[in-house]
Amino acid sequence: MESWVRFNAQSQAKERVFRAAQYACTLLGYTLQKGGASADLLTTIKHLEAHLSLTRKLMRLGNSAEALEAAKRAVHLSDCVLRLCITVAHLNRVMYFACDNILWAGKTGLLANLDQNKWSQRSFRYYLFALILNLTRDAYEIHLLMEREARSSSAKGSLSSPSPLAPTPENGEFSPSPFPSPASAPVPAFPVITARLHRQLRLLVSVLRSNPPLLLDLLKNLCDVFIPLDRLGLYPTGTGFVGACGLASSILSILTIIHPWLKLKP
Amino acid sequence: MESYLKLTNQSQGKDRIFRATQYACALTRHLLQDEPLSKELLQKLKSLESNLSSGRKLLRLGNTLNSIDAAKKNLQLSDPVLRFCLTVANINRAFYFICDNVLWARNIGLIHNINKENWSLNATRFYFLSLIMNLTRDAYVIAQIMVQRSRDRQCQQKLNQHLSESPDVAQVIIPQLDAFLFLLIESLKSHPSVALDTLKNVCDLFIPLDRLGIYHTNAGVANFCGLVSSLLGILSVLKPNFKIKP
């Protein structure tokens, strides 16, 4: 009960719950439509989804100021790549929220003759840019961590003293190479590339396993990116897939609110 | 900017802002009712008001648990009057939120076979009872502060000085009443959180009184009271020292 009260007190947490409910409705609507459910039930779900969407738009009023403040803070980061990615991502979020607010005004009838489709496309464009920058940041963080991990593992390898039983070049014994020497035959490129890829993949898995916040942020952004891609017609995936991605992303977001240590910093 | 972010990050803060806007819309609509050339504006205000109202209903989903948790906490209070008032107030709020959630589901179309009017009246009734309990608590706290102040030597000197300063007024007004009012004002001055809570609850009281037909006021008064109460609510969220404890 205590954790629920604490969770419920945050407006971002409530927004995430409503987002999860909205995408659950999208997914449910798609599933029921495929299953041939009654039109009445489908209408109710559509109505609920639209209501959740509109309320979330209302809740996001004023979030531009928050994103702007976050951009201001990100400007002071020491790492230039992080500074660029995070600041520009937040500025795109500012623009996305501004478009979203205009859309809300259009939907409530405050701006009667607003081209809602145009503004919706515009808002999704900014949202997509923000997500691409967030994914770039994730990729950069992963790259840094992989480099560090590779360096530390190679340092460990060089520091660990060779076993007296292990064959060493000093006593004239060499470990048998899996590949023939360059003198005898040319090295086939494919096994080398495969081995390197395998090593990189192992390194990636190791890095992500040891950094749950980064893994969570990456998964969340990957799920989110399909939504604007579908809405903008860049990569149409269908309502069901969009609903599933939105729901997964919302649940991951809720997880980062419940457990703040899972939130990626900065 | 900092205080604005602090306000919007809290569910209660956002709800208060939306409530203030909702009542501001309703008040503006009431004031512009007889104005010509404002048909379109009135329509927009009505649309915005209903959007804010349904949005706030959705925002309040799950608040029942908050009220139950608050009631549980209040059971631990040592003062029996405070324990009774606050626990009963929170239980009534829990019932109010339940009715509100049912009404929300009805508005959305999730539930069809319920009497909207009945549930709306029940919600208002529970809200009214909750406010009555909160006002009783305020009166009790004020009485305690006044007793405390009356025993205070410094306050007694102030009171005597006040009564001797205006003997002609004291003859017209009953001295006991004058002393009581002086003590009341002094008590509220020294405890702004109690004064704010009392004022907020008094303002809020006019809304259910009007809806239940117990004391009819016009829409303008009810909406103005709602707006004032919301602004006081925002103030207590922004400045936690203005929030009455427990």
Task: Over range A65-72, report the average pLDDT.
Answer: 91
Q: What is the rounded average pLDDT for all residues in chain B? A: 86
Residues A223, A246: Cα–Cα separation, whole Å? 7
The two tokens of residue B231 are 């602004």
pLDDT tens per residue across span B64-85: 988 999 998 899 899 999 999 9
Residue A222's pLDDT band (cuts 50, 70, 90): very high
Q: Which H/E stretch holds residue A5?
A: helix A2-8
Q: Verify whether the Cβ–Cβ distance B8 to A62 is below 8 Å.
A: yes
Residue A4's pLDDT band (cuts 50, 70, 90): confident
Q: What percent of chain A has pLDDT over 90?
A: 47
Residues A212, A210: Cα–Cα separation, whole Å? 6
Minimum Cα–Cα distance from A63: chain B residue: B8
Residue type, A249: S
Between chain A and chain B, how many beta carbons pairs sit less than 8 Å apart? 80
Domain locations in chain B as residue ranges: 2-242
What's the pLDDT at B38?
Answer: 72
Domain locations in chain A as residue ranges: 1-59+237-266, 63-154+189-210
The DSSP code sequence of A170-239 is GGT--PPPSS--TTTSPPPHHHHHHHHHHHHHHHHHHHHHH-HHHHHHHHHHHHHHHHHHHHTTSS---H
- Which of B25, B39, B44, B56 to probe the A interface (max A CBs under 10 A)? B44
Q: Verify whether the Cβ–Cβ distance A110 to B55 is below 8 Å.
A: no
List helix spans (H) across chain B.
2-8, 11-31, 39-59, 63-74, 80-108, 116-151, 153-165, 167-172, 175-190, 192-211, 219-238
Q: Residue A160's CB: how many other CB atoms inside 10 A?
A: 8
- Residue A80's alpha-carbon distances to A85, A92, A133, A214, in angstroms, are 9, 18, 14, 19
Q: Residue B179: pLDDT above 90?
A: no
Residues of A in contact with B13 (CB under 8 A): 11
Q: Is A186 left (phi over 0), alpha (psi -120 to 50) or beta?
A: beta
Residues of B in contact with A9 (CB under 8 A): 10-12
Residues of B in contact with A2 (CB under 8 A): 69
Residues B211, B214: Cα–Cα separation, whole Å? 8
Residues A236, A154: Cα–Cα separation, whole Å? 44
Segment 34-73 of chain B within 8 Å of chain A by CB: 43-44, 47-48, 51-52, 54-55, 58-59, 62-63, 65-66, 68-69, 72
Q: What is the rounded average pLDDT for all residues in chain A? A: 85
Residue A187's pLDDT band (cuts 50, 70, 90): low
* B48: nearest CB among A1, A65, A110: A110
Q: What percent of chain B has pLDDT over 90?
A: 48
- Which of B3, B4, B5, B8 to probe the A interface (max A CBs under 10 A)? B8
Minimum Cα–Cα distance from B109: chain A residue: A44
Task: Over range B190-204, report the average pLDDT.
Answer: 93
The DSSP code sequence of B18-84 is HHHHHHHHHHHHHHTTT-TT-HHHHHHHHHHHHHHHHHHHHHTTTHHHHHHHHHHHHTT-S-HHHHH
* A9: nearest CB among B11, B108, B110: B11
Beta bridge partners of A10: B10
Q: Are B242 and B196 in contact (CB under 8 A)?
A: yes
Q: Verify whether the Cβ–Cβ distance A66 to B108 is below 8 Å.
A: no
3-state secondary structure of A263: coil
In terms of Cβ atoms closer than 10 Å to its own Cβ (0-12, 13-18, 19+), residue A60 is: middle
Q: Verify whether the Cβ–Cβ distance A66 to B5 is below 8 Å.
A: yes
Q: How far is A46 from chain B (nearest CA, A)?
A: 10
Residues of B in contact with A11 (CB under 8 A): 8-11, 13-14
3-state secondary structure of B206: helix
Residues of B in contact with A65 (CB under 8 A): 1, 4-5, 8
Q: Which H/E stretch holds residue A88?
A: helix A80-108
3-state secondary structure of B85: helix
